[in-house]
């Protein structure tokens, strides 16, 4: 039984999908005006793992993640670079998918773009106006928050309009400072679309409601995103969606914690961020993934080179175990999958508890210790069948977490193979100085050797 923390109810609950055996899931995607930073990456990695685990448990998962390709930030970037907003959005959308692939994140089943769903957005705004929840002023359309009695049920905020007035820039045309834009009237030299209210473009919040309901239905299982989206974005999504349909919008709300630097949330607005593509110049994608899941997804996580280096050492233990397997376990049966051992029970017990990846990693390392011990014991007694079962488990767990070590290309250039052979001869002659020189030369060329008393038995590429 999977138990999940639901932001909407503020407690852990048994996970029961709306349709047996199926999960419909929506995650808020990027606003494509720049390369995404490692704080954003935590969200994409966390919910990639959750999606993988739900599939492991037998659910057919439909995963939708939007692309916000029209927004003030995109327009500002386009104006700064003297290009079109469309060219900015296309450039960074392509970069986003490229970075996702490098990080081993499975591409969403559906990636709707806001600009391709303007007609759906307009239809939803019409429904809100017909139901009396929205009003038009000078070509702008606003949602009237005061008419939605459940406003604040996700964020648990109670609103004092006087205090709210002091915190936000007041638009005197709105009935209340809390009201938010569904449609924005066109401004000079900005992208715009025709609508019943004149030329304009969608507000941010309405985009997600229109696209999620188009592909997942008016009520679906999971909506996820970063903790910073609880208010106002997700709160506003609930209000406009439920006002339009008079149905519950989402059953379970999941939110990941912040990635912090020096105790502050990493964000572009604060300027304390690092781009994913820059971090990947220093650390492998698996190490970045390992770091992101080393703490429970709802807790905050402190980012630093030191913490990534520590994750690198931990991931190296996983790599070393697979090296040990390849050296000592022959004729692994590729068909030996989905074997349910006591280790499966332990791993699933951790993940069933609100997707506790930190505890699940503890199971992985306990299993690695057991596998290494069994491989050592294999020389004295027959444990091959059990080893193979446990290896199958280890592969499954690492695959779910997205940290399965890359399968090395065992083909080396002839000159590198010749160097390894020369070094083997030097070690045979106990010419340790020459052996060390060749080892260093190979490391400079990206090849790390692994020695044992029988000689050089394995190698891997750095990074």
Radius of gyration of the chain from Cα atoms? 26
Domain match, 187 and 323 both: no
pLDDT at residue number 170: 74
Nearest-angstrom CA–CA distance, 216 and 231: 22
Largest Cα span, the chain? 89
Q: Is residue 39 part of a domain?
A: yes
Note the Cα 133 to chain centre separation in Å: 34
Nearest-angstrom CA–CA distance, 344 and 354: 17
pLDDT band at 338 (very low <50, low <70, confident <90, very high): low
Domain match, 65 and 96 both: yes
Q: Is residue 270 part of a domain?
A: no
Say if residue 362's pLDDT is above 90.
yes
pLDDT at residue number 14: 98
Locate 3 and state its tokens. Answer: 């138990």
Say if residue 41's pLDDT is above 90.
yes
Nearest-angstrom CA–CA distance, 330 and 334: 11
Nearest-angstrom CA–CA distance, 365 and 344: 13
Say if residue 454's pLDDT is above 60.
no
Domain match, 144 and 112 both: yes
**Among 133-147, 317-331, 419-433, whose mean pLDDT is lowest?**
419-433
Residue finishing a domain among 256, 284, 309: 256
Name residues whose C-beta falls within 8 Å of residue 23's C-beta, 6 or more positions apart in sequence.
17, 54, 59, 60, 61, 62, 221, 222
β-pair type (447-452, 455-461): antiparallel
pLDDT (average), residues 31-35:
96
Q: Is residue 194 part of a domain?
A: yes
Nearest-angstrom CA–CA distance, 289 and 293: 6
The CATH code of the domain that includes 197 is 3.40.50.620
Q: Considering its fold, how many domains does the chain have in total? A: 3
The CATH code of the domain that includes 318 is 1.20.120.640
**Among 54-63, 200-209, 324-333, whose mean pLDDT is lowest?**
324-333
Domain match, 84 and 216 both: yes
CB 30 within 8 A of CB 381: no
Domain match, 124 and 234 both: yes
Domain match, 326 and 365 both: yes
Q: Is residue 263 part of a domain?
A: no
Share of the chain above pLDDT 70, in %: 87
Nearest-angstrom CA–CA distance, 412 and 459: 10
CB 299 within 8 A of CB 412: no
Locate 312 and state its tokens. Answer: 């690198």
Say if residue 80's pLDDT is above 60.
yes
The tally of CA atoms less than 13 A away on the side-chain side of residue 448 is: 9
pLDDT at residue number 186: 95
pLDDT band at 159 (very low <50, low <70, confident <90, very high): low
Nearest-angstrom CA–CA distance, 178 and 167: 11
63 CB burial (10 A radius; 0-12, 13-18, 19+): buried
Domain match, 371 and 233 both: no
Count of positions (residues) in the chain: 463
Locate 214 and state its tokens. Answer: 């188009």
Domain match, 351 and 441 both: no
Over residues 236-265, the pLDDT tens digits come to: 999 999 999 999 999 999 999 999 887 777
Residue finishing a domain among 224, 256, 288: 256
Residue finishing a domain among 256, 291, 316: 256
Alpha-carbon separation of residue 153 from 158, 162, 387 (angstroms): 9, 20, 51
Task: Report the mean per-residue pLDDT for the chain.
Answer: 89
pLDDT at residue number 336: 55
Domain match, 144 and 62 both: yes
Domain match, 397 and 422 both: no
pLDDT at residue number 432: 81
Global confidence as pTM: 0.87
Domain match, 326 and 396 both: yes
Q: Is residue 233 part of a domain?
A: yes
| Reduced 3-state DSSP string for the chain | CCEEEECCCCEEEECCCCECCEEEEEECCCECCCCCEHHHHHHHHHHHHHHHHHHHCCCEEEEEECEECCCHHHHHHHHHHCCCHHHHHHHHHHHHHHHHHHCCCCCCCECCEHHHCHHHHHHHHHHHHHCCCEEEECCEEEECHHHCCCCCCCCCCCCCHHHHHHHCCCCCCCCCCCCEEEEEECCCCCCCECCCCCCEEECHHHHHHHHHHHHHCCCEEEEEEEHHHHHHHHHHHHHHHHHHHCCCCEEEEEEECCEEECCEECCCCCCCCCEHHHHCCCCCHHHHHHHHHCCCCCCCEECCHHHHHHHHHHHHHHHHHHHHHHHHCCCCCCCCCCCCCHHHHHHHHHHHECCCHHHHHHHHHHHHHHHHHHHHHCCCCCCHHHHHHHHHHHHHHHHHHCCCCCCCCCCCCHHHHHHHHHHHHHHHCCCHHHHHHHHHHHHHCCEEEEEECCEEEEEEECC
Q: Is residue 388 part of a domain?
A: yes
Locate 446 and state its tokens. Answer: 């990206």
Helix axes 357-377, 305-328, angle to 10 degrees: 30
pLDDT (average), residues 313-339:
79
CB 256 within 8 A of CB 227: yes
441 vs 109, more confident = 109
Share of the chain above pLDDT 90, in %: 71
Per the structure, the complete domain to which residue 429 belongs is given by: 414-461
Name residues whose C-beta falls within 8 Å of residue 330's C-beta, 6 or more positions apart in sequence.
none
Q: Is residue 427 part of a domain?
A: yes
Domain match, 97 and 167 both: yes
The tally of CA atoms less than 13 A away on the side-chain side of residue 437 is: 6
Locate 215 and state its tokens. Answer: 């592909």
Q: Is residue 144 part of a domain?
A: yes
Over residues 165-210, the pLDDT tens digits come to: 444 467 888 999 999 999 999 999 899 999 999 999 999 999 999 9
pLDDT (average), residues 412-428:
76
pLDDT band at 158 (very low <50, low <70, confident <90, very high): confident
């Amino acid at each position: 039984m999977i138990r999940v923390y639901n932001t909407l109810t503020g407690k852990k609950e048994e996970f029961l999908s709306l349709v047996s055996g199926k999960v419909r899931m929506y995650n808020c995607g990027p606003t494509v005006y720049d390369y995404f930073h490692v704080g954003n990456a935590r969200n994409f990695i966390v919910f990639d793992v959750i999606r993988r685990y739900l599939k492991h448990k037998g659910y057919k998962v439909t995963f939708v993640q939007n692309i916000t390709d029209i927004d003030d930030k995109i327009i500002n970037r386009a104006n700064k670079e003297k290009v079109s907003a469309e060219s900015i959005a296309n450039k960074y959308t392509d970069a986003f998918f490229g970075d996702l692939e490098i990080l081993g994140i499975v591409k969403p089943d559906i990636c709707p773009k806001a600009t391709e769903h303007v007609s759906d957005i307009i239809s939803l705004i019409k429904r809100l106006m017909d139901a009396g929840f929205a009003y038009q002023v000078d070509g702008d359309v606003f949602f009237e928050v005061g008419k939605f009695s459940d406003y604040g049920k996700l964020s648990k905020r109670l609103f004092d309009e006087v205090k709210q007035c002091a915190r936000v820039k007041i638009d005197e045309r709105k009935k209340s400072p809390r009201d938010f834009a569904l449609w924005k009237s066109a401004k000079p030299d900005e992208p715009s679309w025709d609508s019943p209210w004149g030329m304009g473009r969608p507000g941010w919040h309405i985009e997600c409601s229109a696209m999620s309901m188009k592909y997942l239905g008016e009520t679906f299982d999971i909506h996820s995103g970063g903790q910073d989206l609880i208010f106002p974005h997700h709160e506003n999504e609930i209000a406009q969606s439920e006002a339009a349909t008079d149905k519950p919008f989402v059953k379970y709300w999941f939110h990941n914690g912040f990635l912090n630097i020096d105790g502050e949330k990493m964000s572009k607005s604060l300027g304390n961020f690092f781009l994913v593509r820059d971090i990947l110049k220093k650390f492998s994608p698996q190490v970045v993934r390992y770091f992101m899941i080393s703490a429970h997804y709802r807790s905050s996580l402190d980012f630093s080179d030191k913490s990534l280096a520590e994750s690198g050492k931990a991931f190296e233990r996983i790599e070393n175990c697979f090296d040990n397997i390849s050296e000592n376990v022959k004729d692994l049966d590729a068909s030996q999958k989905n074997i349910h051992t006591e280790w499966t029970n332990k791993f699933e017990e951790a993940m069933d508890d609100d997707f506790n990846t930190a505890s699940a990693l503890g199971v992985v390392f306990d299993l690695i210790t057991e596998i290494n011990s069994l491989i050592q014991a294999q020389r004295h007694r027959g444990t091959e069948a059990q080893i193979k079962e446990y290896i199958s488990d280890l592969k499954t767990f690492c695959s779910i977490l997205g940290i399965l070590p890359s399968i090395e290309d065992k083909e080396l250039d002839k000159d590198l193979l010749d160097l390894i052979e020369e070094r083997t001869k030097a070690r045979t002659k106990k010419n340790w100085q020459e052996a060390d020189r060749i080892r260093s030369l190979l490391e400079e060329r990206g090849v790390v050797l692994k020695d044992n008393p029988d000689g050089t038995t394995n190698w891997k590429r750095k990074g």
